[in-house]
Amino acid sequence: MLSGLLKFTLGFFLAIAVLIGGGVATALYFINRTAIPPAKPIFANDSPQVKAQAGASSSTPTPGAATQSSVDSTSTPNPTESPKIQSPKPLPPGTYRGRVSWSQGLSLRAEPNQEAQRIGGVGFNQKIIILEESEDKTWQKIRVEANEQEGWVKAGNTKKVDEQQPEQSGQQ
């Protein structure tokens, strides 16, 4: 009788250990699966530049190279830059050049509100022209330099690009 009671107790604790081990293993599996962020989706209406950046992240220029290419594109046309920008156009009064500083890129909207129709997207570090700001300063109307598309983005996700004249005078 003592042997039967010992077998029952040992079997009971062994079953509990197997159930706890299986539960922990299953929980760890699902935790690890949900911890991996999915790849950024590419939509059919994204600009070709966004598709190229998503396909080859190694082609992202370094900050020094970006400054140099923008200097080259303003003084003399660079063969690699010429397909994107034919010639630098003078900016209308009150506008300035900038770049997208939000690492995930921005949604381009038809109106300055979150519920407005999405009309496109702007990739990280893409050149833009800031045309105006909304009255409450929470939205900016921009023009994408690559394809001349205009729309509204949330303010604070862009960075003004300094004009190249002060840098040139400091180098001479």
Better-scored residue on pLDDT, 169 or 6: 6
Instruction: Give the C-alpha distances (Å, rounded to integers) separating 91 from 41, 88, 95, 130, 163.
Output: 33, 9, 6, 10, 12
Q: Check whether 58 has a pLDDT greater than 80.
A: no
Domain positions in the chain are 1-36, 48-163
Task: Look at residue 6 and tell me whether its pLDDT is greater than 80.
Answer: yes
Cα torsion 84, 87, 91, 97 to 10°: value is 40
Would you call 130 helix, strand, or coil by DSSP? strand
Mean pLDDT over 59-82 rounds to: 45
CATH topology for the 48-163 domain: SH3 type barrels. (2.30.30)
- What's at 145, amino acid-wise? E
pTM value is 0.45
**Poorest-confidence range of 11-15, 17-21, 80-84, 137-141?**
80-84
Q: What's at 142, amino acid-wise?
A: I
Report which of 111, 99, 115 is spatially closest to residue 139, judged by C-alpha positions: 111
In the chain, what percentage of residues exceed pLDDT 70?
Answer: 69
Instruction: Tell me what pLDDT residue 82 has.
Output: 42
Q: Tell me what pLDDT residue 93 has.
A: 80
* Lowest-pLDDT choice from 19-28, 30-39, 125-134, 138-147: 30-39
Q: Spell 158-170 as b/e; 16+ CB within 10 A means b.
A: beebeeeeeeeee
Is residue 92 very low, low, confident or very high in pLDDT (cuts 50, 70, 90)?
Answer: confident
How much is the average pLDDT of 58-79?
Answer: 45
Q: Which of 18-22, 34-38, 77-81, 102-106 has the lowest mean pLDDT?
A: 77-81
